[in-house]
Amino acid sequence: MAEKKTMYYNDYLQLDAILTAQNPESFKPGNEPAHDEMLFIIIHQAYELWFKQILFELDFIMSIFKKEKIDDNSEDLNLVRHRLNRIIKILELLTQQVTLLETMTPLDFLEFRNLLIPASGFQSVQFRLIEARLGLQMDHRFNKNYYKRTNEGGFDEKDFNILNETEDTVSLLSLINKWLERMPFFENDLWKNYQSQFPLTDHLHPFWSDYRQIYENGLNEKEAKRINDFDAIFFNNENSATDERPIEKPLFSAEAMRAALFIMLYRDFPVFQTSYQILDALIETDHQLANWRHKHLDMVRRMIGMRIGTGNTSGRGYLESALNSHYIFRDIAGLATFLIERKNLPKLPADLIRKLSYSN
């Protein structure tokens, strides 16, 4: 019987495959070797490895939110928070990696740039999958026609089909929306002893009737029309239109937006602490993606100026527009618009406070 081979570092990490995966085009016969192409390849391979880890973390996070019932006081949400924070740290690292790429000068890049055409970072399927799984919809992408091409600079047929299939499946944004909609804390029996501060507004829950009035009272003259945004976002009141409509239609439902705002307002209660940190992590994920895009944009400006990208995109113009439009959880970030001072928060009824505090 053959003796079982002991685990060996090189074999465990499959270093033979990894360390022989760098094959610079400029090193091939007939070309002038460009020293910095090795750096360029290794950095982008490292990006793809970290993208793989982000997708791995997203698979876990989405598996939790796909459950029929989620216990907000279980380890599930704590693990979701932990995995999201790991994604944030990875994104921070990816931004830092750009500074290493910047040790390559524009002239260094020009030594091998033309050999890359028509390949480009735009064709990173894993990054597109990250965006799609998070919830970036095709209609909200800058120049969405870029993403639906299989000609030079676009995707090959296999990757094109993978991206289309992913975009047709449920996203993290959709799952978060359903999770928020299930929040039970507006059940009538928990509010039977609530003391309203103002006359009730027709068709509104007593809490939201009061909150709306408090919010409106706190707006200054220049902000007064924000109450129309409030009605449109949190109550689907499209008839509240003025010259100042919400900038964009929310991707979250009005019910989910109310739940998210309530969590932000009362996040100091134990039952909401993890939920609030998850919402904050989603905002930070968007922020870190924007940081990475911005750093990438600065690097491209420095490297190629106003030239088009190797994949036939507009280069700097594409990156700049994507930076401004590819925010996924903008609705959650925008909740800060509708906060009020802590001292003015409606006093919650005792029955609800007991439930939020895990007390008997």
In tens digits, the chain (360 residues) has pLDDT values of 667 889 999 999 999 999 999 999 999 999 999 999 999 999 999 999 999 999 999 999 999 999 988 877 778 999 999 999 999 999 999 999 999 999 999 999 999 999 998 888 888 999 999 999 999 876 666 566 666 666 777 788 898 888 888 888 999 999 999 999 998 888 888 999 999 999 998 889 999 999 999 999 999 999 999 999 999 999 998 765 455 554 578 999 999 999 999 999 999 998 899 999 999 999 999 999 999 888 888 888 888 776 665 555 555 555 666 656 678 999 999 999 999 999 999 999 998 998 887 654
Domain ranges for the chain, please list them.
Answer: 35-169+268-325
Tell me the C-alpha distance between 237 and 79, whole Å. 37
Residue among 123, 58, 129 nearest 282 (CA)? 58
Tell me the C-alpha distance between 125 and 137, whole Å. 15
Q: Report angle CA 224, 227, 230 to the nearest 5 degrees.
A: 150
Tell me the C-alpha distance between 269 and 266, whole Å. 6
Name 93's Cβ contacts closer than 8 Å, sequence gap at least 6.
50
Handedness of CA 32, 301, 286, 246 (dihedral sign): negative
Q: Is the peptide bond before 246 cis (omega within 30 degrees of 0)?
A: no
Q: Name the packing angle between helices 37-65 and 125-134 (round to 10°).
A: 30
Tell me the C-alpha distance between 209 and 253, whole Å. 19
Tell me the C-alpha distance between 95 and 293, whole Å. 8
Q: What is the residue type of 185?
A: F
Task: Say yes or no: domain 35-169+268-325 is CATH 1.20.58.480.
Answer: yes
Kindly state the tokens that stand for 171: 């996203």
Name the DSSP letter for residue 146.
Answer: G
> Rounded to 5 degrees, what are φ and ψ at 4?
-65, 130
The pTM for the full model equals 0.90
Kindly state the tokens that stand for 49: 């490895």
Contact 50, 98 (CB under 8 A): no
Name the DSSP letter for residue 245.
Answer: -
